[in-house]
Amino acid sequence: MFEQLTERLQGAFRSLTGRGRLTEANVEDALREVRRALLEADVHYKVARRFVDEVKSRAIGDEVLRSLTPGQQVVRIVHEEMVKLLGGAAVPFAVSGAPPAVIMVVGLQGSGKTTFCGKLARHLRKRGRHPILAAADTYRPAAQDQLVKLGGQLDVPVHTGRPGDDPVAIATSAVDAAQQSGADTVILDTAGRLHVDGDMMSELERIREAVRPSEILLVLDSMTGQDAVNVASEFVERLDFSGAVLTKLDGDTRGGAAVSLRAVTGKPIAFASVGEKLDALEAFHPDRMASRILGMGDVLTLVERAQEAADLESATKLEEKLRKESLTLEDFFEQLQALKKMGPLEQLVGMIPGASKAGPVEVDEKALSRIEAIINSMTPEERRDPGAIDGSRRRRIAEGSGTTVQDINRLLKQFGEMKKLMKQFGRQGKRGRLPFVSPFGA
């Protein structure tokens, strides 16, 4: 995420943090590089200029330049100004109004609207609400079918119309259906176009007047950069949407849309979509996103993902096994599954502070798949007692998992080393509470 921008900004910071003393000229040179990095990331030119001016006005002064760590002070100012640029304090997304509350989802075709509707339904249901999905896109042939499929995966009801139905009629009948069924939230998937046009906006305005939504969320493809901001500017003029959603953020190496959107439209970013799976949705936190952009990691989001993926009962059992030094490959396999639930490994590594300073990290997702295949090819006895796996068993496991005996040997060696490390934690735990138990046993 934002790899190009992060690398360029860190390059600019190196010229500052490597010096014991800074001059105004040093700061100006570094900020010139920051401005160039922002423009290359497709950040709106007015936003980039204003951002650099704000940083410069704070950074060039005796308090900063004569401090013991002037370079770090400038980086701190850049971080604080980046947080302000992205929206300042995070505003939790909360559905308000008498039930059923209507959330109207709008945007261009191909931005990921329909998939986001499914992600939002999952997000709200995990927080105690009872949503229904409503398919008001009568133009794209597969839109209703896609929404019905998503509803089936989530076990969330989907309200659809008949071919030729007016989208306004579908929206109002969806609200009626929600009232009758006891659902407290209607997530309304509206039609998009390949570009903003008058007919599209008129239809959305008619739907808005008919159902009076409590929230209007504009879904934008972050990878389109400045185009996404231009689209948002037109939507805010006609619809005055309440919040934006940036999709495909996991593939966005530049970050221009994320950085520019709030400053240009005045509207907050409510959610960030960071993958194709239905659980790949994050509430947008300006401070955390600023830290990611500047290569400082994002520990809080990493912890939240771990907490969501971890099963409290399983974690308690794991801690007990660590105390008794009885960890097995079955336990290891369970923790591997929890790790996968947290998202792609490259994303997780990017959230670790300082990881980006070591350069691009390539994570071999296939290696995890090989480990899963190997453990799945073992018998329950072998998983519980790896010491029983002799040469003939290793050959059988390798054949069953499509791997080699060398792969089996490597896994068993790594598991043995991990058990030694876990014994140290276990001994510490006997003297008191274990200092830390990871959700994935490492």
Instruction: Give the chain's domains with CATH numbers.
Output: 3-86 (1.20.120.140), 101-294 (3.40.50.300), 304-430 (1.10.260.30)
pLDDT at 440 over 50: no
Q: Residue 341's pLDDT is what?
A: 64
pLDDT at 105 over 80: yes
Q: Residue 348's pLDDT is what?
A: 55
> Tens digit of pLDDT for each residue in 358-394?
444 455 567 777 888 888 899 988 888 888 889 999 9
CA 369 to CA 337: how far, in whole Å?
Answer: 11
Q: What is the pTM of this model?
A: 0.70
Which residues are 136's β-sheet partners?
A: 190
Residues 6+ apart with CB under 8 A from 41: 2, 4, 5, 8, 225, 254, 255, 256, 259
CA end-to-end span of the chain: 25
Residue 213, classed as helix, strand or coil, is: coil
Neighbours of 339 (CB within 10 A): 21
DSSP H helices, 87-225, are 113-125, 143-154, 167-181, 198-211
My answer on whether omega of the bond before 100 falls inside 30° of 0, hence cis, is yes
Q: Which amino acid is residue 159, in one-letter code?
A: H
Question: Is 104:213 a contact under the CB 8 Å cutoff?
Answer: yes
Return the H-helix or E-strand segment holding 247: strand 243-247
Per the prediction, the chain carries an average pLDDT of 81
How many residues does this entry show for the chain?
442
CA 247 to CA 343: how far, in whole Å?
Answer: 16
296 against 88, higher pLDDT: 88
Q: Residue 12's pLDDT is what?
A: 83
Q: Residue 358's pLDDT is what?
A: 46
Residue 270, classed as helix, strand or coil, is: strand
> Tens digit of pLDDT for each residue in 219-230?
999 888 888 999
Question: What's the pLDDT band for 63 if we cut at 50, 70, 90?
Answer: confident
Share of the chain above pLDDT 70, in %: 80
Query: What are the tokens at 331?
Result: 């336990």
User: Residue 295 CA to chain centroid, in angstroms?
Assistant: 16
User: Residue 278 CA to chain centroid, in angstroms?
Assistant: 11
pLDDT at 254 over 90: no
Q: What is the mean pLDDT of residues 52-80?
A: 84
Return the H-helix or E-strand segment holding 190: strand 185-190
The region of weakest confidence among 94-103, 305-314, 352-361 is 352-361
Q: Which amino acid is residue 361, in one-letter code?
A: V
pLDDT at 88 over 80: yes
Query: What are the tokens at 61?
Result: 């002064």
> Tens digit of pLDDT for each residue in 192-243?
888 888 888 999 999 999 999 999 999 999 888 888 999 999 999 999 999 9
The region of weakest confidence among 22-26, 151-155, 214-218, 263-267 is 22-26
CA 33 to CA 39: how far, in whole Å?
Answer: 10
The region of weakest confidence among 111-115, 116-120, 288-292, 336-340 is 336-340
Q: Residue 292's pLDDT is what?
A: 81
Q: Give the chain's count of helices (H) and strands (E).
A: 20, 8
Nearest in space to 39 (alpha carbons), one of 251, 247, 47, 27: 47
> Tens digit of pLDDT for each residue in 392-417?
999 999 999 898 999 889 888 878 87
290 against 338, higher pLDDT: 290
